[in-house]
Amino acid sequence: METKCKICGEKIEVAEDSMAGELLECPSCGMSYEITSINGNTVSIKNAENVGEDWGE
């Protein structure tokens, strides 16, 4: 399966055993995505939320 990067349009390979909630990274630009759903060979993605370290602050 595959999907396309929303930033650069590069193909992103998705493993057959992937599930919603897993993270993907574009091999071309490095953008991170979260799989929102998989329906047959159609993979829906959204931008991954960046969780920053708060270092106890």
Q: Is the pTM of this model over 0.85?
A: no
Confidence label for 44 from pLDDT (cuts 50, 70 and 90): very high
Confidence label for 25 from pLDDT (cuts 50, 70 and 90): very high
- Residue 57 lies inside a defined structural domain of this protein: no
The token pair that represents 13 in the structure block:
């390979």
Number of domains in the chain: 1
Give the integer Cα–Cα distance in Å for 31 and 40: 24
Contact 11, 33 (CB under 8 A): no
CA-atom Rg of the chain in angstroms: 13
Q: Which domain covers residue 11, as residue numbers?
A: 2-47
- Residue 55 lies inside a defined structural domain of this protein: no
pLDDT of residue 56: 63
